[in-house]
Structure 1
Amino acid sequence: MKNSTALITLLLVIAAVTLTFRSAMPSYTPDAELEETGFSTDRALGHVKNMSEAPHAVGFPAHSEVRDYVVRELEKLGLQTSIQLGYTAGDWG
């Protein structure tokens, strides 16, 4: 009797731990088919992938390519864009 009680208790603890971990883990649901006006993680990650193909800090060759990509995508959404020329790190340096 004592062994069966211990076994049942162990199985219940394992089941509780398993359910806790499963419910705490995030789930992924593809959302690329959502309306164009809604936010889609899949579409956003596609843009991140396009922009992260090469380093694109100011002065790097890919900087202007990424800038142009962002401008094109914003204009596709019907937004007005402008590019500001010049660079400053601020008043203190």
Structure 2
Amino acid sequence: MIASGAIYECQRVLDEGFWDYTMPSSKIIGAQELVLYLQNLKSLKDAILEAKIKTHQFAKRQRTWFRKNMKNWKTIEITNSTTFDKSLLNLI
């Protein structure tokens, strides 16, 4: 995230006056932490650590959701388009 330019992106959003804590785009994992870092309210080390923790928590929520909601999902074999088409037709 950091190596891919997240700090630069957050800085541009701040500089252009588009940062708004109430907008869904401001709730992206890591964005809030980096903005606080750019505003000198948090160290970069703490911002990265908090982003990692939030990423881990989000992944855990996803795993829980999948475990609960995907029990009856069917697996479709996709080795080529013909196999996929036949598998899909069998489910319908």
TM-score (norm 2): 0.30
Bigger relative contact order, structure 1 or 2, given CA contacts below 8 A and separation 6+? Answer: 2
Name whichever structure is richer in helix by fraction: 2
TM-score (norm 1): 0.29
Q: Which has the larger radius of gyration?
A: 1
